[in-house]
Amino acid sequence: MDPTIRLRLATRIHFALRRQYGEDVEVSTLLRGLPEAREALWVCAASGDAELTALAQQFTAVTAAADRAALKRARTLATAPQDTAWSQDTSGFGLTRPPVLADDSAAPPAPAGWRQRMNWLRRSV
């Protein structure tokens, strides 16, 4: 499906409402699906004008299809397997998970040159 079809339909609805009723419904309002957009689509459907009714039906159908496609894309991304090694230990928020230790008492050794935990407040090196 052409990704600009919603834009074209919204533009046609904008100009048709302006021509028929003198109402100025912004194209961006129609694309965002604000309450004013729903009201404009109801006016189009109830107008009795064949062009406005067809445009409202097409816009509603295309918007519903786009919403379904976006939901499907989001579900696919949410369940995507993490095949790469670096993705196994990340939360997705830029934080790495701590390594899981088999024995809680066996803490990983501190790197050489690092200060001891209890001495970090002291000024002496």
pLDDT, mean of residues 94-102: 61
pLDDT band at 73 (very low <50, low <70, confident <90, very high): confident
Q: What is the rounded average pLDDT of the residues 52-76?
A: 89
| Tokens 């339909």, residue located | 9
Report percent pLDDT > 70 for the chain.
60
Q: Is the dihedral of CA 28, 33, 36, 42 positive or negative?
A: positive
Q: Once rounded to an integer, what is the mean pLDDT over residues 56-62? A: 94
Residues 80 and 3: their CA atoms lie apart, in Å, by 24
The C-alpha atoms of residue 31 and residue 67 are separated, in whole angstroms, by: 12
Report, as an integer, the average pLDDT of 88-108.
60
**Residue 89: what pLDDT?**
59
What pLDDT score does 93 carry? 64
Q: Considering the entire predicted model, what is its pTM?
A: 0.58
Quick one: pLDDT at residue 83? 60
Please state the domain extents for the chain. Answer: 5-76
